[in-house]
Amino acid sequence: MNTNKNSYTLIYAIVMVVVVALLLALVSGGLKETQNENVALDKKKQILSSLRIDLKDQDAAALYEKYIVKELVLNSNGDITSEERGKAFGIDVLKENAKALEQRELPLYVAEVDGKTKYIITVRGAGLWGPIWGYIALDDDKNTVYGTYFSHASETPGLGAEIATSDFQNRFVGKHILNDAKEFVSIAVMKAGKFAEGKEQIDAISGGTITSKGVEAMLLKSIGQYQEFFKKQ
């Protein structure tokens, strides 16, 4: 058989691509369900991490049921549109952010830790190389930060990627998102030695300036959407 003929090469390539595509589609379809369960479990772990709960060797799904008492869906006017369990959890924040502000559905998780209510907000923004996201838990005064969790897709290891460490995340604990006049100003992430006007701040990561600023912008934009709800209560 002449394997150097053009027609042979062409047919070979076509058959190969079709066979491989079929195979991959089968594998992907077959494993989809297990993968989605893993993604959901991972999301629960991330939400719990913002409450500073130690998850090592723990059943995250059971802890989630225990701590998260309510899952709310809000609109930008601050009205609760749904309290149905699972609805807020299923919201894809990335898709919501693409909509106009008035049409967005905002998930809010209400947790109870040692008898005290905490509000957990989903935040999402952009770092240097790709998306960054996380959860920020506020005390029941809706002002003091109780804990944070940040993660990223592809920030530089050792620099921007440090936002995923507890060392960075714990810098936010105890900071306030409102100024003295009770207006929402968020929290600034500043280079050591620089000071932000009229708001509280934490130290940025040396060498990770763009990612640090990305965190700052993400907090301002994401928490800002919930202001109407917090004002009402």
Partner 1 sequence: MSKLFSEKTKQVFLGPLSKNNPITVQVLGICSALAVTAKLEPALVMGLSVTIIVAFANVIISLLRNTIPNRIRIIVQLVVVAALVTIVSEILKAFAYDVSVQLSVYIGLIITNCILMGRLEAFAMGNKPWESFVDGLGNGFGYAWILVVVAFFRELLGSGSLFGFKVIPQSLYEAGYSNNGLMILPPMALVLVACIIWVHRSKNKELQE
CA distance 88 to 75: 12
From candidates 14, 18, 31, 69, binder to partner 1 by CB under 8 A: 31
**Choices 71-79, 134-142, 151-159, 189-197 (CB under 8 A): range interacting with partner 1:** 151-159
Contact pick of 66, 69, 94, 158 for partner 1 (by CB under 8 A)? 158
Is residue 54 close enough to count as binding partner 1 by CB under 8 A?
A: no
Choose between 20 and 80: whose C-beta lies nearer to partner 1: 20
Binding to partner 1 (CB under 8 A): which residues in 11-30?
A: 12-13, 16-17, 20, 23-24, 27-28
Q: Which is nearer to partner 1, 128 or 138 (CB)?
A: 128
Lookup: tokens for 129? 């190389």
**Residue 136: what are its φ and ψ, rounded to 5°?**
-130, 125
Shortest spacing between CB 206 and partner 1, in angstroms: 14
- Comparison of 5 and 232: residue with beta carbon closer to partner 1: 5
Does residue number 61 form part of the binding site for partner 1 (CB under 8 A)?
A: no
Q: How many of the chain's residues bind partner 1 (CB under 8 A)?
A: 24
Q: How far is the CB of 36 from partner 1 (least distance, A)?
A: 9
Q: How far is the CB of 159 from partner 1 (least distance, A)?
A: 11
Q: What are the DSSP calls for the chain, one per residue?
A: --TT-HHHHHHHHHHHHHHHHHHHHHHHHHHHHHHHHHHHHHHHHHHHHTTT---TTS-HHHHHHHHEEEEEEE-TTS-EEE--TTTTTT--HHHHHHS-GGG--EEEEEEEETTEEEEEEEEEEE-SSSEEEEEEEE-TTSSBEEEEEEEESSPPTTTGGGGGSHHHHGGGTT-BSB-TTS-B---EEE-TT---SSS-EEE--TT-HHHHHHHHHHHHHHHHTTHHHHHH-
We find the least distance from the C-beta atom of residue 82 to partner 1, in angstroms, to be 29
- Member of 65, 66, 90, 154 binding partner 1 (CB under 8 A): 154
Q: Which residues bind partner 1 (CB under 8 A)?
A: 1, 3-4, 8-9, 12-13, 16-17, 20, 23-24, 27-28, 31, 34-35, 38-39, 41-42, 154, 157-158
